Structure 1
Amino acid sequence: MTSAIRSLVIPVSDLDAAKQVYAAVLGEPHTDTPYYVGYNVDGFEVALAPGGETGAPVANVDVDDLDASVEALVAAGATVRDEPRQVAPGVRVAVLLDTDGNPIGLRGE
């Protein structure tokens, strides 16, 4: 597993309201769709994601092998919150919970 964290996904219940708030500090998004709004902050991706579980933002750790990373975290005591799923060509994500319920995002193939 690598230690590169290159994105933060912020779950939102009202995408239009959230876009107003985040545009005030991050500027205009590079991607603006009904299911994903993305901002590039000096090479770091900040994303607004509507429709999912709201609560804590999820920092995604970029990994080479998503399935192996999920297995390693589960073996270490984490639980799977969101099973691996395809979000873009060549990109899958998963969210696990540590032993205190904090989200750990993984992004890879």
Structure 2
Amino acid sequence: MSNHTIAVPVTDLDAATAFYTTAWGVEPHTVTPYYVGFNLDGQEIGLNPNGAAQGMTGTVVYWTTDDLAGKVAEAEAAGGSVVFPVTEVGGGTSLAIVSDPSGNQVGFITQG
């Protein structure tokens, strides 16, 4: 299992699912209204139809952590800014997005 997830914000989940299924040659392992997940050789890549509403400006890598709130606080203390606060997004998964001092986004995720 990968220690990070790559999330791609999409505006049309059905169209994006069809595109990436063809592009990657792999069927999704998870299909929900809020997330479609693919596993490419052990790498989790997901399509997020709510990405724009969560402040995503492009593809975000989510690093897995056991202490989501603590990791976000550490990132803030290191000069980051919270873009999307710690939020439970479904299926026992919580995540947050922080931007670095240059505006690049990094995500943190915990799965229950």
Aligned residue pairs, count: 105
Percent identity for Structure 1 against Structure 2: 38
Q: 1:64: Cα distance to partner?
A: 2.0
TM-score (norm. length: structure 1): 0.86
* SS class of match (1:105): strand
Amino acid at match of 2:41: D
Greater shift, 70-79 or 91-100, is seen at 91-100
Q: Given the alignment, which residue of 85, 88, 93 partners 2:95?
A: 93
Deviations 1:6-63 (A, max 9, x none): 2101000111221122111222111112211110112221100103315311101111
* SS class of match (2:48): strand
Kept in 2: contact 1:5–1:59 (CA 8 A): no
**Residue in 2 that maps onto 1:21:** 19
**Residue in 2 that maps onto 1:61:** 63
Paired with 1:51 and 1:69, the residues of 2 have a C-alpha distance of 23
Please tell me the root mean square deviation across aligned C-alpha atoms, in Å: 1.6
Ranked by relative contact order (alpha carbons within 8 Å, sequence separation 6 or more), the top structure is: 1
Q: Please, which runs of 5 or more residues in structure 1 have no aligned partner?
A: none
